Amino acid sequence: TPEDLVFAKELARRVSLSMENARLYREAQEAVRLRDEFMSIASHELKTPLTPLKLKLQALSRELGRYPGPIPREVVTKYLEVGDLQIKKLTELVDELLDVSRIASGRLSLDLQRLELAPLVREVMAQHELQARRAGSTLELDVGAVPVVGEWDRLRLEQVVMNLVDNAVKYGRGNPIQVRLVPVEGGVHLVVRDEGIGIAPESLPRLFGRFERAVSERNYGGLGLGLYITRMLVEAMGGRVRVESTLGKGSTFTVELACHPLGGEVGATTASME
C-alpha cells in the first residue's frame, strides 16, 4: 500500500542516517585515540632528554665540590657538551610541535626566493656526515650535470631535505644512503633512497599524516611529525612528496618540485599556507 511505501522509505532513510552516525562516531573515536596516543608519545619524548640533562648537571655540581680552586676547563666542557646535545634534541621536538600548530592555524608563512638546489642539498648532507658515519652509513650524492633553480623557501627546503636524510640515517640500518637530483619536464625530483628497515604496506597510506608512527615498538624515538611537516612544506611550495618501500629492504622518498630555467632576477616573495 502507499502507506507501506512511505514507511519503507522512512525506515531506509533512518537506517542510512544511523549508519552515517555510526561512521562519524567511529572516526571521532579514532581521532581521540590517535590524539591520546600522541600525547603519551610526546610526553615521553620530551621527558627523555631531561634525564641525562639532570644527571649531568648533578654530576657537574659534584665535580665543583671536589675542586678547591677553579675547575679544569676540560671537565666543564665534557658536561656542557652532553647538556648541549640534549637541549638540541628538546629544541627540535618543540620546533616540530610549533610547526604543527602553525600549520593547523594557517600561520606558517614562506619566504620564497630564487635558489639553486644542489648546493643546498650538499650543505644539508655535509651536516649529516658525522651522524651517518656514526650509524655506519655512507651518504652518496648525485646532483646531475645541469644546475636546478627554483623559487623556494631556503630554510623550509633545508628542513625537508634534513627530515628525509635524518630518517634515512635513523632507519637505514647502517647501509649506504643515496640522494639524487633528477631533472624532469618543468621540475626536479629529489630522491632519497635507503636500504634500511623499510615500511609495511599497511603503514604507507598514513605515513604522511599527523601523529602517525609506523614503528609500533618504540625503539627509534621521535614524534612521528617529521613526514607530516615535510608533506605540508613541500605542498606549500607547490610540490608533492611520495614514498615507495619494501619491508626489510628499504625506502625511497621522492620530492617533486617545480623549477624554472636558469637566469632572471633573484627576487623574494612571500606566501602563506592558508
Q: Which three cell numbers stand for residue 129?
A: 656526515
Which H or E run contains 142? strand 139-142
10 Å CB burial of residue 252 (0-12, 13-18, 19+) is middle
Residue carrying the nine cell digits 611550495: 237
CB 215 within 8 A of CB 223: no
User: To the nearest whole angstrom, how small is the minimum distance from the Cβ of residue 159 to ligand ADP?
Assistant: 12
User: To the nearest whole angstrom, how small is the minimum distance from the Cβ of residue 269 to ligand ADP?
Assistant: 29
Instruction: Round to whole Å and give the CA distance between 244 and 251.
Output: 6
Residue carrying the nine cell digits 631531561: 50
**Residue placing its CB nearer to ligand ADP in the complex, 97 or 215:** 215
**Residue placing its CB nearer to ligand ADP in the complex, 114 or 210:** 210
Closest of 129, 242, 230, 140 to residue 194, by C-alpha? 140
**Residue placing its CB nearer to ligand ADP in the complex, 157 or 197:** 197
User: To the nearest whole angstrom, how small is the minimum distance from the Cβ of residue 93 to ligand ADP?
Assistant: 9
Closest of 162, 52, 51 to residue 99, by C-alpha? 162
Residue carrying the nine cell digits 598514513: 206
User: To the nearest whole angstrom, how small is the minimum distance from the Cβ of residue 124 to ligand ADP?
Assistant: 15
Cβ-closest position to ligand ADP: 222
User: To the nearest whole angstrom, how small is the minimum distance from the Cβ of residue 222 to ligand ADP?
Assistant: 2
CB 255 within 8 A of CB 160: yes
**Residue placing its CB nearer to ligand ADP in the complex, 76 or 200:** 200
**Residue placing its CB nearer to ligand ADP in the complex, 150 or 222:** 222
**Residue placing its CB nearer to ligand ADP in the complex, 112 or 168:** 168
The residue ranges that bind ligand ADP (CB under 6 A) are 163, 167-168, 171, 194, 196-199, 207, 213-215, 222-228, 251
Which amino acid is it at 1?
A: T
Instruction: Round to whole Å and give the CA distance between 69 and 123.
Output: 43
User: To the nearest whole angstrom, how small is the minimum distance from the Cβ of residue 79 to ligand ADP?
Assistant: 27
Q: 250 in helix, strand or coil?
A: strand
Question: Could you tell me where the beta strands, DSSP code E, fall in the chain?
Answer: 109-116, 139-142, 149-153, 177-184, 187-194, 240-246, 250-258, 268-272
Instruction: Round to whole Å and give the CA distance between 47 and 45.
Output: 5
**Residue placing its CB nearer to ligand ADP in the complex, 149 or 223:** 223
Closest of 101, 102, 97 to residue 222, by C-alpha? 97
User: To the nearest whole angstrom, how small is the minimum distance from the Cβ of residue 36 to ligand ADP?
Assistant: 17
User: To the nearest whole angstrom, how small is the minimum distance from the Cβ of residue 207 to ligand ADP?
Assistant: 5
**Residue placing its CB nearer to ligand ADP in the complex, 224 or 239:** 224
